[in-house]
Amino acid sequence: MHPDPLVSVVLRGFTIGYAKSIDLAYNELLKGHVSDGEDCWLDHYGISINMSDPFESVEEVLFHASTYVRNELDEPLASELGNRLEMRMVSQICTT
C-alpha cells in the first residue's frame, strides 16, 4: 500500500518547512534580530523545533511538494496549497 501523496509529499513538506521556519526565526531571536511576540510568534507549545536539516534539503522537499500540487491538483486548491508551500521556501531564503 502506497501512502497518499497529499500526506507523504505535501503535508510532510509543509510541516518540515514550517518547523524549519520556526527554527530559523528562533535562531534570529537568539541573535537579538527579532522580538518574540512583536516580530514573530515563536511559541512552539513544548514541541522541540531544533532542526538539524540543512536549508537545501528542506528547500528540496518544499519544491517537490509544490511541484506535485501544481501538477496533480485542480484549481483553486493547487494555487492555494502551492502558494503556501512557496511562501515557506521564501521565508527560509529570507532568513538564511
Each domain of the chain, given as residue ranges in start order, spans 5-95
**pLDDT tens string 69-91:** 888 888 888 888 888 888 777 66
Q: What is the predicted pLDDT for the residue at 24?
A: 79
Asked if residue 76 has a cis previous peptide bond (ω within 30° of 0), the answer is yes
Distance CA 38, CA 49 (A): 20
- Cβ–Cβ < 8 Å for 58, 16: yes
- Cβ–Cβ < 8 Å for 70, 28: no
Q: What is the predicted pLDDT for the residue at 22?
A: 77
pTM metric for this prediction: 0.63
Residue 40's DSSP bridge partners are 36
Distance CA 63, CA 54 (A): 14
**pLDDT tens string 17-40:** 888 877 777 777 788 876 666 656
Which of 5-19, 35-49, 67-81 holds the top average pLDDT? 67-81
Q: How confident is the model at residue 5 (pLDDT cuts 50, 70, 90)?
A: confident
